[in-house]
Amino acid sequence: MPDPSRPTERTIKGLPASGGVARGKLFVLGRSDPVTPPEYAITEDEVPAEQERFQRAIIATRGQLSAIQEKLRRMLGAKDAELFEAQLLFLDDPTVLSHVNRLIAERRCNAETAFAEVARGYLEAFKAMEDSFMRERGVDVRDVTDRVLHTLLGQDHAASLADIRERCILVAHDLTPSQTALLDRNLVLGFATDQGGLTSHTAILARALNLPAVTGLIDASRRVRHGANAILDGFEGTLIVEPTDATLYRFGAIEFRQQQRRDQLRQLTDQPAITLDGHALTLSANIESPDETADVKSQGAEGVGLFRTEYLFLRGNSLPTEEEQFQAYDRIARELHPQPVIIRTLDLGGDKVTRLWPAHSEENPFMGWRAIRICLEERDVFRAQLRAILRASAAGNVKLMYPMISGVDELILANEVLDQCRNELTVEGRPFDFDMEVGAMIEIPSAAMTAEAIAEHVDFFSIGTNDLIQYSLAVDRTNPKVARLYDPTHPGVLRLMSRTIEAGRAAGLWVGVCGEMAGDPLFTPLLVGLGAQELSAAPSRVPAVKFLIRRLKLSEAQELAAFALQCKDSHEILRRTRTLAETAAPFLFEKDQPTA
């Protein structure tokens, strides 16, 4: 007999951003819509009680903030917990408190009205400040103001990440890459967001953290209840709310099978990535943090094909110094020695924004102030990073690559700064690898079209398919509304990739692929056939790609690529690609099968 008091099961469909299944209660992260407090008059007799109510709200808010700060201190250390210092200072400011009390008494208005007016004055003053760092502090005032107003109104303040205390599936309208990087893996079993595409940096990070994730759920964060039971299926891209016993049973069986398959793939860890007809590829890993070197080894990757250094800049409360960066790069290089480690210079901007940087509100951030463009303007930041990478190169296995190169001019400028750093280090007598390979990411169509010229200034190319697809098809990689137009087998994309590989080959360079396409075994035959010599993927994806390579013939992959390069229809290319991949390794594509 179905239990009528039990809520009915609902399945919400999104995008399968990161494989895995999680079961648990939902923690719904509130949207920070500004609070509009009610306005009402009070009598003269009521003034002392109203002032006292305000005083109590301030004390309660201070208590909430201190608890959050303490939790952050335990999780991240004292430096990052300072984030809340500005909010606490605002609450303790005697000018703010006396101003509110005065307004309550003079205007005979409720505490919410008086406090909102005083806070508004501060907010406007912060907004008008010349110093961008100070302007950013306005966000703190807005946050603490809403918190006080919620307390006065007896409401719960919109839940924040720091309020998570129990194991849960996190549901949010959006998560920034830096918020995702800070998720407590012991508590957050997986996450679901309304926003985001499959190659948004939040999705990439979820795969790096091995955390099931579903993005592009449109408005799920408004449709689900905090505390509801749910299953998050990162393989299918669904959030199942209030699952029935039958669904729970089915997922239990799927989880068991997936674990068995993962164990089977692990057996390949020490095997080379070599095709059936003897063609060897380099299969390396994309990492976001020095802590991932253990995963690189355990998943059987041959070194690092992409270290996204920006997370060093997104995590802390200040820009990392040359020394701090050196420690991080040196640690990775030594832990993986003699395998190669490709360190990518800073690629902030786009969806990776930091509070530490002067605030630039951009209409179109992916087309804006990003990556090498920032570095060539902020020379001190760039130099500190180049020096740190050069110093780490003394280990002998480090390579450097520049992101978002659009043409040869940027590359020449970047190499000039690199030469200056080499000269400085030589004068200082610090060791480094004078022959360190330097590469360019090819992820902007203009770079693919001028790859011959770019090849004259570098030792290798690494194709960044995430951005190359985004920019060549004009499809925002983070926008779920256009996710279905994000098409890796579009003939235009494949021709740009082929052009890049051929130009690299003609100039004697090696060419790799480090976008998410390289981590999906579905596309392995196509990339191998196009002539990529290295594939770099999230560590968790390496075993499946290796499994496929070891069951593939180079000759078949080349036939597929030749077909794809003369075909006009992306669906037909995808169909043939799928047929070859599934024939080579049916095991990887069975239903309920994780590819991660």
C-beta separation of 297 from 336 below 8 A: yes
| Residue 431 phi, psi (nearest 5) | -75, 145
If one asks whether residue 387 binds ligand PEP (CB under 6 A), the answer comes out as no
What residues between 475 and 514 interact with ligand PEP by CB under 6 A?
A: 514
| Active-site option among 201, 375, 421, 490 | 201
| Residue 161 phi, psi (nearest 5) | -55, -35
Residue number, 143 or 467, with CB nearest to ligand PEP? 467
- 150 included as an active-site residue: no
What is the smallest separation between the CB atom of 464 and Mg ion, expressed in angstroms? Answer: 4
Residues that bind ligand PEP (rule: CB under 6 A) add up to a total of 11
- 514 included as an active-site residue: yes
Residue number, 16 or 464, with CB nearest to Mg ion? 464
CA distances from 380 to 342, 438, 485 (A): 22, 20, 39
What is the smallest separation between the CB atom of 33 and ligand PEP, expressed in angstroms? Answer: 31
What residues between 117 and 176 interact with ligand PEP by CB under 6 A?
A: none
Residue 515 interacts with, from Mg ion, ligand PEP, none (CB under 5-8 Å by kind): ligand PEP
CA distances from 1 to 4, 5, 6, 129 (A): 9, 12, 11, 65
Among 150, 157, 173, 308, binds ligand PEP (CB under 6 A): 308
Q: Name the E strands within 403-465.
A: 438-442, 460-463
Residue number, 150 or 477, with CB nearest to Mg ion? 477
If one asks whether residue 445 binds Mg ion (CB under 5 A), the answer comes out as no
Locate all alpha helices (DSSP H) within 20-131, ordered by sequence: 47-76, 78-81, 85-92, 94-107, 111-127
Nearest Cα to Cα of residue 55 among 85, 117, 98, 86: 98
What is the smallest separation between the CB atom of 407 and ligand PEP, expressed in angstroms? Answer: 17
C-beta separation of 292 from 353 below 8 A: no
Rounded CA-CA distance 316/313 in Å is: 6
Rounded CA-CA distance 84/75 in Å is: 14
Residue number, 146 or 443, with CB nearest to Mg ion? 443
Residue 308 interacts with, from ligand PEP, Mg ion, none (CB under 5-8 Å by kind): ligand PEP
Residues that bind Mg ion (rule: CB under 5 A) add up to a total of 3
C-beta separation of 150 from 157 below 8 A: yes
Single out the segment in contact with Mg ion by CB under 5 A; choices: 10-18, 456-464, 516-524, 572-580.
456-464
Among 16, 212, 480, 515, binds ligand PEP (CB under 6 A): 515
Among 112, 143, 236, 443, binds Mg ion (CB under 5 A): 443
Q: Which residues sit at the interface with ligand PEP, rule CB under 6 A? A: 204, 306, 308, 347, 443, 464-467, 514-515
Q: Which residues sit at the interface with Mg ion, rule CB under 5 A? A: 443, 464, 467
Q: Which residues are catalytic?
A: 201, 514
